[in-house]
Structure 1
Amino acid sequence: MAADDKIDDYPYEIDEQLKGFELSVSTVKTMLNTLIAMPRNELEQKLGPLDQAKLDLMSAYTLNSLFWMYLVTQGINPREHGVKQELERIRTYMSRVKDITDKKKAARVDKAAAGRFLRNALFDPEEKASKKKAAASKAPNVGPAKRPKKS
């Protein structure tokens, strides 16, 4: 039997879904083989603490998700199993790591630079000229310095 021949053991309507599932399984298998090929110690040495946490959470979530799928194939409702609580716990930690990552990416405001920017953006040359005139009128009248006459 050729690989392209369709087996009549399942309804034709789910053929596309099965092809998508097969593609997803092969993608997961490729990623897992890549991950398993490198010793864990080497991988952890190359990663920082935040990336290590992401890797550990991803690994735990993947394994629990695969177990969820296994339970479904065995006819067990995974929503009534302890794996549901474990997945929720892992999701909570994943959101914490995401928050930490977002905080690192957030822009920091230099208050002094922002103040200078606003001061210069709100600069009014007419106001500055009127302040100079007011300051000059308050100052005592000291005329220009007299130069000695040339003989």
Structure 2
Amino acid sequence: ETRRAKATIAALSNVLGQLESQIEPLLLQPLAETVIGLEPIQQIKLQTVIPYVVYDLIFIYLKTRGINPLTHPVVAELARIKQYFDKIKGAENPETKRMAIDKEAAGRFIKHAIAQAKAGAPHSATDIMQSTSNTGGSGNAAVPAKVTVKMRAREAYLRELSQRGDASDEDMEDLPDFED
């Protein structure tokens, strides 16, 4: 086991040396100067990779100290940063994104349209002809709006006001509210 541990430590030391040589150019100048010369997507990648590397090094440090890193908050941070990597991939390949369909909402729209169409649908061929001629002959008859109890009450109230001849703006503001 000692040989295996020594080999692992040597490999880790080698990898950390390589990492240090790769990070060194970033450390020679301020991050703002490094980022300014990059494309926007490259800036995002760099600013996402840096915290990932830091948290990953903390993860490795915890392991070398005998602390279980899976119980440490660093794991949650690594998972959060991985989500950013997924977002970056999505931004780089927008054509692979598929449009999501909300099946429940689509079902509600369809049921509502069918109910409205049944309620106001023409029943005979002459009714169909009249409805298409009223809509400009396009064949797409407009679905009538649902008439609510409140709408009927308002119409009756306005009719009463107009018959009395005293329909004014003040009366319009005091209209009663009715629930369906």
SS of 2:93 mapped into structure 1: helix
Tell me what 1:78 maps to.
69
Map 1:45-60 → 2, pairs under 5 A: 45-60=36-51
Match of 1:44 among 12, 35, 41: 35
Q: CA deviation at 1:43?
A: 1.1
Q: Match for residue 83 of structure 2? A: 92
Structure 2 alignment gaps of length 5 or more: 98-180
Aligned to 1:32: 23
Q: Distance in 1 between matches of 2:4 and 2:75?
A: 30
Bigger mean CA offset, 46-55 vs 15-24:
15-24
Which amino acid letter does the alignment assign opposite residue 18 of structure 2? T
Give the superposition deviation at 1:40. 1.5
Give the drift of 1:76. 1.8
Q: CA deviation at 1:24?
A: 0.3
Question: Structure 1: how far apart are the matches of 2:32 and 2:59?
Answer: 28
Deviation at 1:23, TM superposition (A): 1.5
TM-score when normalising by structure 1: 0.57
TM-score by structure 2 length?
Answer: 0.48
Is 1:66–2:57 an aligned residue pair? Answer: yes
Deviant stretches of 4+, over 6 Å: none
Structure 1 residues 13 and 84: alpha-carbon distance in aligned structure 2, compared to 1, 3 A threshold: closer
Task: Tell me the C-alpha RMSD between the 2 structures.
Answer: 2.2
Identity of aligned residues (%): 26
Q: Partner letter of residue 63 of structure 1?
A: V
* Structure 1: runs of 5 or more not aligned: 1-9, 107-151
Q: 1:57, 1:22 → 2: CA distance?
A: 24
**Which residue of structure 2 aligns with residue 18 of structure 1?**
9
Q: Distance in 1 between matches of 2:22 and 2:96?
A: 27
Once the two structures are TM-superposed, the CA of residue 59 in structure 1 deviates from its matched residue by 0.2
More relative contact order in 1 or in 2 (CA 8 Å, sep 6+)?
Answer: 1
Size of the alignment, in residue pairs? Answer: 97
Of residues 84-93 and 97-106 in structure 1, the stretch that sits farther from structure 2 once superposed is 97-106
Q: Deviation per CA, 1:46-87, whole angstroms, max 9, x where unpaired?
A: 012211110011001000001111222222211111111110
Structure 1 residues 104 and 27, CA, compared in 2 at 3 Å: closer, same or farther? Answer: farther
Q: Deviations over 1:116-141 (max 9, x none)?
A: xxxxxxxxxxxxxxxxxxxxxxxxxx
For residues 21 and 12 of structure 1, the distance between their equivalents in structure 2, rounded to whole angstroms, comes to: 14
Quick one: distance in 1 between partners of 2:6 and 2:64?
18
Partner letter of residue 88 of structure 2? V
State the distance in 1 between where 2:24 and 2:84 align.
Answer: 25
